[in-house]
Amino acid sequence: MSAVLKPAPAYRGFDVAPLCGAGGAEVTGIDAARPIAPETVADLRRALAEHCLLILRDQELTPDQQKAFARHFGPLSATPFIKPLDGHPEMMRIVREADEKKKLNFGGRWHSDLTFAAEPVMGTCLYARESPPVGGDTLWCNQMQAFDALSPGLQRVLEGLTVMHSAKRSYGPQGTYADDDLKSMRIEVSEAGLAEQAHPCVRTHPETGRKILFINWVYAIRFADMTEEESAPLLDFLNRHSQRPEFQIRLRWRRGTLALWDNRSTQHLAVNDYAGYRRVMDRVTIAGDKPFYRP
Ligand code: SIN
């Protein structure tokens, strides 16, 4: 799907300006702090499935207002392994202080949120409270376009495969976050991070019927009934393919930017290029369903 080549469909209560060929759209006409009419919510949901990422600029939101906005799209889902914001069990604060010179930043490798869960979240809503004057962008890649661009032969192979997802590389006892003290984040690695969850390698979008290459660098660790070593060559190829520039969307944040993305059809990455500046983001995730494949 190329968002830029199609005339924008009419939406009730807002306008959209597509951002990239891979998706992303700036939404105008919505104050996320206020209740939103049901037909507008229905059209925002449709726009989200079409564009993968919706961006609302210049929003003034309290944590409660951000949660209320996200709840228009479904119940909120708490994030395991990370202590939530005080008083807001469904919200986490992503913080990096100006004096933290870390090789790693939170979310700094390509992933989709919480795919190690039996029912990974359908969407994530991220709000910029403080953003660097330059740097700290987020990138997404469109996993529907990535699937469509594969050869029919490889598509057929992948449609028959199951992938095991696990949080172990991040939140297991030997995971990335065990070594690296992201001191402004409250991350707790544990044995629970070692659990595995099976998902189809190609999932069907429940709202559009589009096929999605459902893998990511961080949590998709191996194919079912294969070792990680055996799986790595094909998974590495699929991840490098997914991150081709033409499948990517890039968002430059500024204070008050609210982003809502479709976690089913995208991977994302927080760019680590803002040493010397503070960045503070509030994140809530929206419950999803069990991924399925429909031919
Ligand atoms: C995340 O992976 O949810 C964080 C994204 C970001 O901070 O830009």
The 3-class secondary structure across 236-293, one letter per residue, is HHHHHHHCCHHHEEEECCCCCCEEEEECCCEEEEECCCCCCCCEEEEEEEECCCCCCC
CA distance 261 to 276: 28
Helices (H), 54-108: 63-71
Q: Indicate which residue's Cα is closest to atom 2 of ligand 1.
A: 107
Mean pLDDT of 100-108: 82
Q: How far is the CA of 35 from the centre of ligand 1 (A)?
A: 26
User: Sorting pLDDT into bands at 50, 70 and 90, what band is 174?
Assistant: confident
Sorted by sequence, the CB contacts under 8 Å of residue 148 that are 6+ apart come out as 211
Q: What is the pLDDT of residue 95?
A: 92
Q: How far is the CA of 74 from the centre of ligand 1 (A)?
A: 20
Mean pLDDT of 146-167: 98
Burial class (CB in 10 A: 0-12, 13-18, 19+), 3: buried
In terms of Cα–Cα distance, which of 187, 47, 70, 50 is closest to 124? 70
221 in ligand 1 pocket by Cβ < 6 Å?
no
User: Sorting pLDDT into bands at 50, 70 and 90, what band is 180?
Assistant: low
The two structure tokens encoding residue 167: 């949080």
In terms of Cα–Cα distance, which of 110, 82, 94, 117 is closest to 197? 117
Task: Identify whether 113 is a catalytic site residue.
Answer: yes
Q: Indicate which residue's Cα is closest to atom 5 of ligand 1.
A: 270
Whether 5 shows a pLDDT value over 60: the answer reads no
Active-site position among 45, 222, 264, 268: 268
Active-site position among 111, 203, 264, 279: 111
Sorted by sequence, the CB contacts under 8 Å of residue 30 that are 6+ apart come out as 13, 14, 36, 40, 44, 56
How do the domains of the chain map onto residue ranges? 15-286
Element (H, E) at 76: strand 76-77
- The answer to whether the beta carbons of residues 172 and 178 sit under 8 Å apart is yes
pLDDT digits (tens, 9 = 90+) for 32-58: 999 999 999 999 999 999 999 999 999
Do strands 258-262 and 53-56 pair parallel, antiparallel, or not at all (unpaired)?
antiparallel
Nearest atom in ligand 1 to 124's CA: 3
Sorted by sequence, the CB contacts under 8 Å of residue 128 that are 6+ apart come out as 253, 254, 255, 256, 257, 258, 280, 281
State the maximum Cα–Cα separation within the chain, in Å, rounded to a whole number. 51
Mean pLDDT of 263-289: 97
Q: Which CATH architecture group holds 15-286?
A: 4-Layer Sandwich (3.60)
Q: Indicate which residue's Cα is closest to atom 6 of ligand 1.
A: 270
Q: How far is the CA of 153 from the centre of ligand 1 (A)?
A: 34
94 in ligand 1 pocket by Cβ < 6 Å?
yes
283 in ligand 1 pocket by Cβ < 6 Å?
yes
Q: What is the pLDDT of residue 290?
A: 98
Task: Identify whether 283 is a catalytic site residue.
Answer: yes
Mean pLDDT of 8-16: 86
Whether 18 shows a pLDDT value over 90: the answer reads yes
Give the mean pLDDT of the chain.
Answer: 94
Mean pLDDT of 122-147: 98
Whether 181 shows a pLDDT value over 80: the answer reads no
Q: What is the pLDDT of residue 170?
A: 86
Task: Report which of residues 246 and 83 the model is more confident about.
Answer: 246
- The answer to whether the beta carbons of residues 38 and 28 sit under 8 Å apart is no
User: Sorting pLDDT into bands at 50, 70 and 90, what band is 267?
Assistant: very high
Helices (H), 10-131: 38-51, 63-71
> How many helices (DSSP H) and strands (DSSP E) are in the chain?
7, 16
Whether 263 shows a pLDDT value over 80: the answer reads yes
The two structure tokens encoding residue 6: 């199609």
Nearest atom in ligand 1 to 268's CA: 2
Question: Percentage of the chain with pLDDT > 90?
Answer: 84
Question: Percentage of the chain with pLDDT > 70?
Answer: 95
Sorted by sequence, the CB contacts under 8 Å of residue 255 that are 6+ apart come out as 128, 129, 130, 131
Q: What is the pLDDT of residue 92?
A: 96
Task: Identify whether 181 is a catalytic site residue.
Answer: no
- The answer to whether the beta carbons of residues 111 and 267 sit under 8 Å apart is yes
Q: How far is the CA of 93 from the centre of ligand 1 (A)?
A: 10
Active-site position among 113, 199, 222, 264: 113
State which of 83-87, 110-114, 192-196 shows the largest mean pLDDT: 110-114
Q: Indicate which residue's Cα is closest to atom 1 of ligand 1.
A: 107
Task: Identify whether 165 is a catalytic site residue.
Answer: no
Mean pLDDT of 176-205: 86
